[in-house]
Structure 1
């Protein structure tokens, strides 16, 4: 069985982790700082803060923003649950909008969802393909939108508009406007979860890009303290001789990334140019085959200064029903290939149904979902394995459609 998304663990990764274990220091310390510097250099964004997950990072940023009960945050209906749950854990209300044909948030519907209670918008770079940040920034800086904005915290008053908080969980390595993802949002949060392009087993990285008069250096320092219960010294600093005294300056969280986890990502990001190159080669192999199939809808990879990180290959099957898609997945699995579906739209999940969200309000998200199959795409795949995956998908489509023809006959 070809697995769907195993982590990339090379000898260099193992050596970096062993080095951390042998150092006698395994929680937040020098390797976390080195990982932040590597990601910062890769993105060309000076301030990057690592945390223990995308979700905890998003909750922290929304709390820093001063989200209060009744405040709204616009998100896509087509995303993983963490996007919505972070808003709710921070005290706000998620307002969902439909997807476009590229899976990303339909920017044409965003302004319609904005009210005086809107405090942030969280666009999601689905599968690693960046959303239209230029259009989103145009919307949130329109005079009528700015005039509608009613701040409920000092941070919001200073910003004076809706926060652009990018859910870049999939898009480390993506490009927008010929720059790394992170330059067109106020704050971007990348996931370093086990299945992501770069992993720390569990983890996240926050790229801070706030406009003046915010000090991004100062914000990094204050958020770093917030990840450690707002303690004025981290454990590594306290461990140095005579440095035991500390203070607690606010209501913080405990969401720091340990060094032993950072070591995995540190080794990987140093190899990332080659890892990303291989992902793109596999993505292109999929495009080459499926672009010739009249039943296949291929995902976007590159257009007008936008480049995908190739985190997922989200294939859609034209004019297929959900049960037929599911039968295809069963057939592909029998042929020795593990595939997945990204994502079940939030309004189809039981919890969000109880909150009153209905999939009928998000027809494009639903249409994308019922026809989507995510194929394996990771640097360890050989060309022979890629061919097997391609053949398995094509064979499964023929088998399912052939059986349907027999039934119809």
Structure 2
């Protein structure tokens, strides 16, 4: 067999939706984008949703909207994709990295210890689709000694009166928290529609707003739409409606809008996500757990607890007692069997650019510990039962072979 890691879900309904855009002769931002935004509001129970061309764009827009810039700090986990920190740097602010818990999510106590008067936002990352411990983060943020440290700068910060909580929900579309969409646990949840995500638009993202009263979400939505289109007060679709050509530039905006051609792919998928695509992912994840449960080398990923349920975006297999060398050997064995696996993620302090900024992996021991033994297995709706069984057999044989033949090295050396 030849099993890829995460191909996009493209069926006839997706093709039909894209063809509808092509036949309409309207392929940039227009009605399909608006329809996808409406679907996102319904799926996430959010107050407004703004589609953009990537998760990174969405994060930059929100940080800029909140007035974050030079001299400010934004707390992020060390264990995440680089975009979580790069969006902060692109705004001129400083990312402050903290370690994670054993479930891969950001450690609320590490956040508390890192808050200073310069802290303006926290970006909590829902790794593998598991929501962060938002109750603990919210409780920490509400503590008087934390709120007293907040020094607002600008009208949005004055109005909120505290640190902004952003969910990096790139992995967690459809995740639940207390029986509700996880997106409502943060002020802002930003989703990714990249090609490997549960719902894709090829490239793309979506900002979902859940700010407290008295923020006007309609007003913020309208601002973000023009902010993502060069500060222009009319998009191309509006201008195309006869005699409506005149426009104005109201602010120094960005070019980050999503085109209809991309939105069409996501629109076809999201309509069947909750009742079809997401349950298929869950079935595969539970099959993996059941198959590996009898092996003492298996660390079961947290997929559901008393208040959280993941979106089953990744299946982060962890092998007890191994380091990077053995983990890589197992992946190589899987490749020989035609199974493509991955690793999520290389902690940012291990990457050259972040090392050049002074970050060191030794300061984030749990991030390293989880990374060193993690293997992300294929998990997507179009995986057939025979392929899932083949992956299970391949993992078991590859792990058993590696554990028998490879001496386990000190993971920090």
User: TM-score, normalized by length of structure 1?
Assistant: 0.98
CA separation in 1, counterparts of 2:43 and 2:258?
19
- Which residue number corresponds to residue 329 of structure 1? 331
SS of equivalent to 1:122:
strand
SS of equivalent to 1:327:
helix
Query: 1:236-277, CA deviations, whole angstroms, 9 ceiling, x for partnerless residues?
Result: 000011111111111111100000000000000111120101
Query: 1:24-50, CA deviations, whole angstroms, 9 ceiling, x for partnerless residues?
Result: 000000000001111111112231110
CA separation in 2, counterparts of 1:279 and 1:332?
21
SS of equivalent to 2:316:
strand
- Which residue number corresponds to residue 272 of structure 2? 271
Instruction: Give the superposition deviation at 1:305.
Output: 2.5
SS of equivalent to 2:125:
coil
CA separation in 2, counterparts of 1:140 and 1:215?
22
SS of equivalent to 1:303:
coil
- Which residue number corresponds to residue 397 of structure 1? 399
- Which residue number corresponds to residue 50 of structure 1? 51
CA separation in 2, counterparts of 1:282 and 1:74?
34
Q: Contact 2:49 / 2:207 at 8 angstroms: preserved in 1?
A: yes
Cα-Cα RMSD: 1.2
CA separation in 2, counterparts of 1:404 and 1:193?
36
Instruction: Give the superposition deviation at 1:404.
Output: 2.9
Query: 1:353-386, CA deviations, whole angstroms, 9 ceiling, x for partnerless residues?
Result: 0000010100000000000000000000011100
Query: 1:257-311, CA deviations, whole angstroms, 9 ceiling, x for partnerless residues?
Result: 0000000000001111201010000000001011211101121111112110000
Q: Contact 1:60 / 1:90 at 8 angstroms: preserved in 2?
A: no
CA separation in 2, counterparts of 1:44 and 1:30?
21
Query: 1:196-232, CA deviations, whole angstroms, 9 ceiling, x for partnerless residues?
Result: 0000000001101111111111111111111111111
- Which residue number corresponds to residue 163 of structure 2? 162
Instruction: Give the superposition deviation at 1:405.
Output: 7.0
SS of equivalent to 2:191:
strand
- Which residue number corresponds to residue 364 of structure 1? 366
Task: List alignment gaps of at least 5 residues for structure 2.
Answer: 409-413
Q: 5 Å matches for 1:69-84?
A: 69-84=70-85
CA separation in 2, counterparts of 1:357 and 1:404?
31
- Which residue number corresponds to residue 251 of structure 1? 252
CA separation in 1, counterparts of 2:138 and 2:68?
20
- Which residue number corresponds to residue 411 of structure 2? none
CA separation in 1, counterparts of 2:407 and 2:246?
76
CA separation in 1, counterparts of 2:104 and 2:224?
32
SS of equivalent to 1:109:
helix
Query: 1:97-149, CA deviations, whole angstroms, 9 ceiling, x for partnerless residues?
Result: 00100001011211000000000000000000001111111111211111111
Query: 1:316-346, CA deviations, whole angstroms, 9 ceiling, x for partnerless residues?
Result: 0001021011001000110110000000000
- Which residue number corresponds to residue 234 of structure 2? 233
CA separation in 1, counterparts of 2:56 and 2:386?
37
CA separation in 2, counterparts of 1:405 and 1:15?
53
SS of equivalent to 1:374:
strand
Q: Contact 1:192 / 1:198 at 8 angstroms: preserved in 2?
A: yes
Query: 1:375-406, CA deviations, whole angstroms, 9 ceiling, x for partnerless residues?
Result: 00000001110010011011001111222379
Does 1:283 find its partner at 2:285? Answer: yes
C-alpha change, 1:405 and 1:364, in structure 2 (3 Å) is closer
C-alpha change, 1:73 and 1:405, in structure 2 (3 Å) is closer
Query: 1:152-202, CA deviations, whole angstroms, 9 ceiling, x for partnerless residues?
Result: 222111111000011000000100121102111000000000000000000
- Which residue number corresponds to residue 130 of structure 2? 129
Q: Contact 1:178 / 1:305 at 8 angstroms: preserved in 2?
A: yes
- Which residue number corresponds to residue 304 of structure 1? 306
Q: Contact 2:326 / 2:406 at 8 angstroms: preserved in 1?
A: no
Does 1:115 find its partner at 2:105? Answer: no
- Which residue number corresponds to residue 190 of structure 2? 189
CA separation in 2, counterparts of 1:10 and 1:204?
21
